[in-house]
């Protein structure tokens, strides 16, 4: 199929846009995940426990990510998507720099809230741009390439963070003009914030594609959105909660993996950053792209539920990897992280692609925002905190984090597989009914 002959942007323009959006996603995940590698020095300097750290990593970010996501998702369905992304990057980058100036827990909490609010602008607008730039049989792959930013960003955060920590620790505290003396972990946040602000200039290279579908680009009443979602509530809920439980496992394991290697096997932050970061970067990206390619392959073979089906495969195949933290030594534990990261990354791109395929164009941003609300509250909000609560109040021993990780993984993957499996038949019906959908209320 030739994009030019079907009204889509040229492949060069479409993939250039995906690359820029992926860079923005990488930047967002570096800012989001760098905290995981800096747990120990931040705990020491700000006198925090695992539960407080988990709230900074998860819930504080997730609450405002979701609260801001719904109005921003609606704006992405009718306003400039490039402009929304630019504003979001400026906000989360300034908030990241503010984290570097934190003198206590509450300062850091405010900064993480700002990061969550800013990052809420990215996904609804980015997925909408990609959906309007690629035909159906290439969309899952394109979205999965964009979603590689999750693992490129996380891997870069671990690897670069580990190297920076090693270098900065050798230098001692840093004295900057105006800011005065700051710790090395604070300097990392300040640098990342400055890089993000500078990055917004690259968005000028994006030319928005035409919105596709009848009435596309015109805001429709919220009641029409609600009516459509309610008429397909089984599909939407089983999709959203099924994939959210997989996100719970992914975020929970990713947040505590560095501390797990440090506490269980005595690794240094630099060793964790280079070894675990390399695994996340390489096999996370392979998993995301493989998930998208598999979904596109299944779709060409006639499976209308291809993207949902890939999520189910990932959950079932990932179940044995839940026991990876019980490995007797660090080397084996790291090796077992390869399949764990691979299978947990497969659903990232296809989850969004599945929604785009069953939603009218006028609702795509809002659908992604609703999914982000549920996935973020369950995945990002509860994932790191569930592990921390079991460690702090169940085992009452920081060294037991490995057992907490296993428990959360087994519960999340089993429940996620059950919901996604039940959702297949409902998804196929919604997919078939979409062609007949018309807004009940004339567009305003």
For 191-235, write each residue's pLDDT tens digit.
Answer: 899 999 999 999 988 888 887 765 555 567 788 888 888 989 999
Per-state percent for the chain, helix, strand, coil, to nearest 5 = 80, 0, 15
Asked whether residue 4 carries a pLDDT value surpassing 70, the answer given is no
Sketch out the chain's domains with CATH numbers. 3-206+216-436 (1.20.1250.20)
**Residue bearing the bigger pLDDT, 127 or 137:** 127
**Residue bearing the bigger pLDDT, 248 or 165:** 248
If you ran DSSP here, which 8-state letter would residue 8 be given? P
pLDDT above 90 as % of the chain:
45
Q: 358: Cβ–Cβ under 8 A, 6 or more apart, which residues?
A: 232, 235, 427, 430, 431, 434
Q: Confidence class of residue 179 from pLDDT cuts 50, 70 and 90?
A: low
Asked whether residue 443 carries a pLDDT value surpassing 50, the answer given is no
- Mean predicted lDDT score pLDDT of the chain: 86
Q: Rounded to two decimals, what is the model's pTM?
A: 0.75
Query: For residues 248 and 386, is the Cβ–Cβ distance under 8 A?
Result: yes
pLDDT above 70 as % of the chain:
92
Query: For residues 54 and 388, is the Cβ–Cβ distance under 8 A?
Result: yes
Predicted local confidence at residue 439, as pLDDT: 62
- Phi, psi at residue 205, to the nearest 5°? -80, -10
The pLDDT tens digits of the residues spanning 238-274 come to: 999 999 999 999 989 988 998 899 999 999 888 888 8
Residue written as tokens 């891997």? 155
Q: Confidence class of residue 397 from pLDDT cuts 50, 70 and 90?
A: very high
Asked whether residue 3 carries a pLDDT value surpassing 90, the answer given is no
Span 290-306, mean pLDDT?
91
Asked whether residue 177 carries a pLDDT value surpassing 80, the answer given is no
CA 378 distance to own-chain centroid: 12
The two tokens of residue 385 are 């905190």
User: Bridge-partner residues for 388, per DSSP?
Assistant: none
User: How crowded is residue 87: how many other Cβ atoms within 10 Å of its Cβ?
Assistant: 15
Query: For residues 347 and 25, is the Cβ–Cβ distance under 8 A?
Result: no
């Amino acid at each position: 199929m030739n994009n030019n002959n079907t009204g889509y942007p040229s492949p060069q323009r479409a993939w250039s846009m995906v690359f820029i959006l992926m860079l923005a996603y990488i930047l967002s995940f570096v800012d989001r995940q760098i905290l995981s590698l800096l747990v120990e020095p931040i705990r020491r300097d700000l006198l925090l426990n695992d539960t407080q750290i988990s709230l900074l990593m998860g819930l504080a970010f997730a609450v405002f990510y979701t609260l801001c996501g719904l109005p921003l998702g609606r704006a992405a369905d009718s306003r400039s998507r490039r402009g929304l992304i630019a504003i979001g990057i400026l906000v989360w980058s300034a908030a990241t720099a503010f984290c570097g100036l934190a003198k206590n827990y509450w300062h850091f909490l405010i900064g993480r809230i700002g990061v969550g609010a800013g990052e809420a602008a990215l996904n609804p607008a980015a997925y909408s741009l990609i959906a309007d730039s690629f035909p159906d049989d290439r969309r899952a792959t394109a979205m999965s390439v964009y979603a590689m930013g999750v693992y490129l960003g996380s891997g870069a955060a671990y690897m670069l963070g580990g190297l920076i920590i090693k270098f900065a620790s050798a230098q001692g505290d840093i004295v900057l003009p105006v800011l005065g003396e700051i710790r090395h972990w604070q300097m990392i946040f300040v640098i990342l914030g400055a890089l993000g602000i500078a990055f917004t200039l690259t968005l000028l290279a994006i030319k928005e594609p035409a919105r596709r579908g009848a009435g596309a680009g015109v805001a429709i009443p919220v009641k029409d959105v609600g009516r459509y979602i309610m008429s397909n509530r089984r599909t939407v809920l089983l999709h959203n909660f099924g994939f959210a439980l997989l996100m719970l496992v992914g975020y929970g394991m990713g947040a505590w993996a560095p501390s797990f290697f440090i506490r269980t096997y005595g690794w240094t932050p630099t060793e964790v950053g280079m070894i675990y970061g390399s695994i996340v970067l390489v096999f996370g990206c392979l998993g995301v792209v493989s998930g998208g390619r598999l979904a596109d392959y299944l779709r060409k073979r006639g499976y209308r539920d291809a993207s949902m089906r890939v999520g189910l495969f990932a959950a079932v195949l990932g179940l044995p990897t839940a026991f990876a933290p019980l490995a007797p030594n660090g080397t084996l534990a790291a090796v077992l992280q390869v399949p764990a990261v691979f299978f947990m990354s497969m659903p990232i791109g296809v989850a969004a692609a599945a929604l785009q395929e069953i939603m009218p164009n006028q609702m795509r941003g809002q659908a992604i925002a609703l999914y982000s609300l549920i996935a973020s509250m369950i995945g990002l909000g509860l994932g790191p905190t569930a592990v921390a609560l079991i460690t702090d109040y169940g085992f009452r021993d920081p060294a037991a984090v490995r057992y907490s990780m296993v428990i959360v993984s087994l519960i999340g993957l089993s429940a996620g597989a059950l919901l996604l499996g039940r959702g297949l038949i409902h998804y196929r019906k919604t997919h078939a009914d979409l062609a007949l959908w018309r807004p009940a209320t004339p567009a305003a």
